[in-house]
Copies of this chain bind each other. A is one copy, B any other.
Amino acid sequence: MTFSVAAATTAAIVPPPIPAPPTRAAETVTGRCAGCSARSKGLCGALTAGDLPDLSTTSRPLDLLSATPVVMEGEEAEAVFTVMSGMLKLYKTLPDGRQQITGFATAGDVIGLAVDSGYAYTAETVTASTVCRMSRTALRRLMERHPAVQGRLLAMTSVELSAAQDQILLLGCKTAVERVSSFLLALSRRSRPLADGTPSVFLPMPKVDIGAYLGLRPETLSRVLRKLEVAGAITRLTNDRIRIEDPAVLEAAA
């Protein structure tokens, strides 16, 4: 799972997140989760309304500013996080500092699932974001009580694996133009067209991050985007929005 649209540049408050608010009468038992924007996605989508109390009592939402680390590669994996809004980048770092972004996470994506005790990657917000924290033990308990959660986890992991293998193909075989074209096409499939119906993509992350995702330097990315623009395939609307003028050209290049 990866990119998508997202929004706010608005700042949010980091420090002390409010614990579960006291609940009200009728709807109370379902708690905060009932109205969550990611309610039907990720892990939570595997649960029925009646199960929501299990979620509400074991998870806690967090508002995060941009550039805030959520999990750190190698650190003890004590919790998983479901993205409710915003966007995060997931990356691995080599000893000498080189970084490879393995994906971008958006609403519904789950971050921090670990094979062993340590996180496999660092996750950091690229825009102000809201994530929902659940301890690993709570997740384990949730899986035991609700087998569907395990199935959902398997489904999500399988999709991620498939995406990772696509990325391996991209990084192992494709040229710079092909990588960028593939990236823009993949994004455009997940985002809504403009008012006039032409497809467009929103790129809230800095160019250097897109480059780090595609295995390219920002300079190379910049040159490729210019080339695609000259070729009439795209138009740069703003720094963070691109209109796809001719998907066919991109398809041909990807």
- Between A10, A11, A162, the greatest number of chain B beta carbons within 10 A of the residue's beta carbon is seen for A162
Bound: A52/B206 CA distance, A: 54
Interface size, A (range):
35 or more
Bound: A6/B114 CA distance, A: 13
Bound: A171/B98 CA distance, A: 12
Chain B residues within an 8 Å CB radius of A116 = 8-12
B215 & A165 in contact (Cβ 8 Å cutoff): no
Bound: A209/B13 CA distance, A: 29
**When A and B form their complex, which 5 residue pairs have the shortest distance between CB atoms, in order from nearest?**
A164-B164, A171-B171, A172-B215, A100-B172, A8-B115
Residue of B nearest to A113 (CB): B13
- The segment from A26-34, A56-64, A152-160, A241-249 found at the interface with B is A152-160
What 16 additional pairs, Cβ within 8 angstroms, besides A13-B114, A92-B169, A102-B165?
A: A9-B115, A10-B116, A13-B113, A13-B140, A13-B153, A100-B172, A115-B158, A115-B162, A120-B162, A150-B150, A150-B154, A153-B154, A157-B161, A171-B172, A172-B212, A172-B215
Give 1 or 0 for each of A110-140: 1 = CB within 8 Å of chain B CB. Answer: 0001111100110000000000000010011
Given A157-B161, A158-B115, A162-B115, does the pair A102, B15 have CB atoms closer than 8 Å? Answer: no
| A232 within 8 Å of B (CB atoms) | no
